[in-house]
Chains A and B, each alone.
Chain A
Amino acid sequence: MNIGLEHYLIVSALLFSLGLLGVITRRNLLIIYMSLELMLNSANLALVAFSRFNNQLDGQVMVFFIMTVAAAEVAVGLALIVAIFRRRQTTHVEDLTSLKL
């Protein structure tokens, strides 16, 4: 049995769901951030699989850009988390409710 496009898409869907589950259920900002990275990576896997099975290299260029943007996003996000921690001494989302009425 050969491995087809749908196998990779199933793995990608599973990874995306796990990332989404982490974003919804975990309450630690750092772990929410790691789950976001997981979701980005599952999208990367789907793009590379589509690229391979549609015989178009453009999907891999897209993955390249996603990696760059993710790196920039991680740098800014972690700087924000450090700034929040410096001010509030917590990275727990339930302690960060100053926007709540």
Chain B
Amino acid sequence: MMNMETVLFYLFAAIAVLSALLVVANPFSRNPVTSAMFLVLTMASLAGLFVLLHAFFLAAAQILVYAGAVMVLFLFVIMLLDLKAEERRRIHFTGVAAGIVSVGTILAIFLTRLGASSVSGPKDPVLEGQTRDLGRLLFEGYLLPLEIVGVLLLVAMVGVVLLSKKELK
């Protein structure tokens, strides 16, 4: 008899991996919009996995930032650029085969090392990713990185405004 958490883990993990596969290699459609939609599904199921890991704030942020902001930006750009010609491109099978072989090797290395190591933590972890604890740690232990990230966002914003100008004067 499996408990609820196990069932939910396998459900979310299966959805995440399957829709990630459909982002990368969709046999039915090579339209970027389809890929973007499956990426939204991956992000949402990752948020579900975060909830199972008791990282509640990060689950909310994952939905808000990725499924909300980032993917809307992606869809906006895909709709803005008219990409009709992309679907007629033929696939280079040698490149795809080389990619599958190399990535399969890397995955095999990952999994064998994971099997050989003893990474398993405590059987009943107690950490709770409450927003209060996370905020306290963020503003007490990580204040300088937080400020630097704020500056980074400002720099990115200025850069984007500069890049989207028609011509640079």
Contacts and interface: CB of A to CB of B under 8 A. Distances in A.
Contacts of A33: 74
A91 B137 CA distance: 42
Given A79-B159, A92-B86, A10 B111 contact: yes
A52 B70 contact: no
Contacts of B27: none
A27 B93 CA distance: 12
Contacts, number: 231
A54 interface: yes
A52 B125 contact: yes
Given A30-B32, A80-B163, A1 B107 contact: no
Contacts of B155: 72
A74 B106 contact: no
A22 B138 CA distance: 34
Contacts of A26: 24
Interface of A is mostly: helix
Contact of A68 (B89, B134, B149): B149
A91 B85 CA distance: 10
A55 B53 CA distance: 11
A61 B92 CA distance: 41
B108 to A, nearest CB: 10
Given A14-B17, A34-B74, A69-B152, 20 more contacts: A5-B119, A11-B16, A13-B114, A17-B107, A19-B20, A19-B24, A21-B103, A31-B24, A37-B70, A41-B66, A44-B58, A48-B129, A52-B53, A57-B129, A60-B57, A68-B149, A68-B152, A72-B152, A74-B74, A75-B73
Interchain residue pairs A-B with the least CB separation, the first 6: A53-B121, A72-B156, A22-B24, A24-B99, A25-B99, A79-B163
Interface of B: 2, 5-6, 9, 13, 16-17, 20-21, 23-25, 32, 35-36, 39, 42-43, 46, 49-50, 52-55, 57-58, 61-62, 65-66, 69-70, 73-74, 77-78, 80-81, 83, 85-86, 89, 92, 95-96, 98-100, 102-104, 106-107, 110-111, 114, 119-123, 125-127, 129, 133-134, 137-138, 141-142, 145, 149, 152-153, 155-157, 159-160, 163-164
Interface of A: 1-11, 13-22, 24-28, 30-31, 33-35, 37-38, 41, 44-45, 48-49, 51-58, 60-61, 63-65, 67-76, 78-83, 85, 90-92
9 contacts: A3-B52, A15-B16, A21-B99, A24-B103, A30-B74, A31-B35, A55-B126, A68-B149, A82-B80
